Structure 1
Amino acid sequence: MSIQSDIEAAVGSLSPSLRRIAETIRERPTIVLDSTISDLAAECGTSVASVVRFCQAIGMAGYAQLRVALATELGKESAQFGMPAAYGADVSPGDTLQEIARKIASLELMAIDETIGSLDFDVLERVVGRFENASRILLYGVGASQFVAEDLQHKLFRIGRDAFVLSDPHEAWAAAALPVSGVVAMGISHLGETKDTLEFLRIAAENGAFTVALTGVPGSAIANAADEVLYTRARETTFRAGAMVSRIAQLALVDCLFAGIAQRRYHYTVEALRRTREVTRGARGV
């Protein structure tokens, strides 16, 4: 488990004073190694007591444990990715393109590693089973999460599964309102608070669908609304509005979901992929 990912996941649920601490550490993780608790409190415009409460909010006993955890984590990342100890820092105005590329690549690699490393495989197994036996699969996400839904729908469609991405919220809610037996509805949202996605899951559940949430935040609204939850772990960059790192973690997780579904009908899947590849080859001019 990653303390930096824990901080990323906790930001949205913290009070304003604790959020300032989280955002400072998220952007400059090495500040904890270089600062006393009083220095960090002053840097964040808050109190020593607030720093202690922040540590406890992310599962640390206190500031000393946070320093040790971050030092250990940053050291491992430095060794693994060949970056200096400041690796964990966000993209900064002074970075070269090479440094930016290495930081983004490293963050994305770690997002995949941490997502799979923390994955509850019992939950994944149950979700795979539900998808395998579903009469209809409804997928919904907003913004970058919609692209992830479309990626999963494309893969499922290629192996003969009735999967639908619903890009318009009214269409999504209407589809979710139909009481069809065997429906699985998946809502995708990194922070887990997108209102349209939450409403989609709520309506689907009310009409008998089995609901799945894909999110990066435990205890988020869509996590609480779903029958099963698949969690990602990702540290976003300053440019998090583009959902770069979290999107990669989501794609990795839906790839695992798809592979699990496909494996259960292995020979059928191989033949289905061969057939769909053959009929589209001519359109590619190959």
Structure 2
Amino acid sequence: MDRNVKETAPPPPSPGALAAKVRTLVPSMTRSMQRVAEVLAADPAGSAALTVTGLAERTGTSEATVVRTARLLGYPGYRDLRLALAALAAEQAAGRAPAVTADIAVDDPLASVVAKLAQEESRCLADTAAGLDTAQLESAVAALAAARRIDVYGIGASNLVGQDLVQKLLRIGLIAHAPADPHLAVTNAVQLRSGDVAVAITHSGRTTDVIEPLRVAFENGATTVAVTGRPQGEIAQYADHVLTTSSARESELRPAAMSSRTSQLLVVDCLFIGVAQRTYDAAAPALSASYEALAHRHSPR
């Protein structure tokens, strides 16, 4: 891949994906852009009826901030955003847009906790699917399928997701590693070259212990992939392909590590299935062999 050639910009998100993108990007926006995004999310119909000047006045920002927010959300300009807002409002009026889930309270009965978690998990998966750039996904899958070696970097809950990806890839015969120690991750990254792939998993996009090995891998010529909830974060500058995830709202009883893991696992499964499809002739026998080995190990003797 020629890293000096800029890829074609993806098409603007669909109305359904707009709501997901707002939820995903708000934490990484400036405070003034957050005010614009929060109004868009809370009142898409009312926002669609406003001119750029009207929305700037309503949010106490500037016309330039409104336009920057529209572009960050994936639209060429405010006019395109207004059209998407109008379509989203129509979807909500027809009952096709998801309801907002209340935060889990300390005194919630377990039945309520189950219902709230299930709804948040479903929304998180739907948001991630709606906002996932399939062109970036295809490119990442192609690189993984052809890789000589694959390193996966993540810390804490993200490392657990990385371990999940690695064990899946190992079962179809690929060479993959997910070092939990950040020093070992950098040491491994030094050995990567063109033809290798490094995958970094970080919801915040600014975890130093994940960014550093990805930077080393990038500078050594490996193809790099970032799975992150903050596509504008620092991690993106060292990523050839960025796969954006969504998450449920962080709360006292639901930290970000929990809420982001669901969407990360979805992306990992998409990567694995894509690789297995591309390498099916080799992957199918390898999967069968691993199933048989595990069945034999656990069979009564």
Give the TM-score normalised by structure 1.
0.77
Report if the CA contact (8 A) 1:201-1:211 is conserved: yes
Q: 1:89 to 1:4 in 2, by over 3 A?
A: farther
Q: 1:189 to 1:179 in 2, by over 3 A?
A: closer
Distance in 2 (CA, whole Å) between partners of 1:211 and 1:103 is: 36
- What is the CA deviation profile of residues 14-70 of structure 1, one whole-angstrom value per residue up to 9, with x for unaligned ones? 345766897x88xxx76x69xxxxxxxxxxxxx951599986664396xxx799788
User: Once the 2 structures are TM-superposed, how far is the Cα of residue 99 of structure 1 from its aligned partner?
Assistant: 2.6
Aligned to 1:256: 270
1:223 correspondence with 2:226:
no
SS state of the match for residue 91, structure 1? coil
Q: 1:7 to 1:95 in 2, by over 3 A?
A: farther
Alignment length (residue pairs): 267
User: Once the 2 structures are TM-superposed, how far is the Cα of residue 236 of structure 1 from its aligned partner?
Assistant: 2.9
1:13 correspondence with 2:24:
no
Q: 38, 49, 59: which one pairs with 2:60?
A: 49
User: Once the 2 structures are TM-superposed, how far is the Cα of residue 102 of structure 1 from its aligned partner?
Assistant: 1.8
Q: 190, 195, 199: which one pairs with 2:203?
A: 190
User: Once the 2 structures are TM-superposed, how far is the Cα of residue 232 of structure 1 from its aligned partner?
Assistant: 1.4
Aligned to 2:101: 88
SS state of the match for residue 177, structure 2? strand
Q: 1:115 to 1:17 in 2, by over 3 A?
A: closer
Distance in 1 (CA, whole Å) between partners of 2:62 and 2:106 is: 27
Structure 2: gaps spanning 5 or more residues? 1-15, 45-57
Q: 1:128 to 1:48 in 2, by over 3 A?
A: closer
**Percent of matched pairs sharing the same residue:** 37
Q: 223, 227, 233: which one pairs with 1:214?
A: 227
Moved more, 231-240 or 145-154: 231-240
| Alignment map for 1:114-263 (pairs within 5 Å) | 114-238=127-251, 239-263=253-277
Q: 1:15 to 1:181 in 2, by over 3 A?
A: closer
SS state of the match for residue 252, structure 1? helix
- What is the CA deviation profile of residues 152-203 of structure 1, one whole-angstrom value per residue up to 9, with x for unaligned ones? 0000000110000011111110111125442111111112111111111111
One-letter amino acid matched to 2:21: D
Distance in 1 (CA, whole Å) between partners of 2:20 and 2:85 is: 15
1:282 correspondence with 2:296:
yes
Give the TM-score normalised by structure 2.
0.74
SS state of the match for residue 110, structure 1? helix
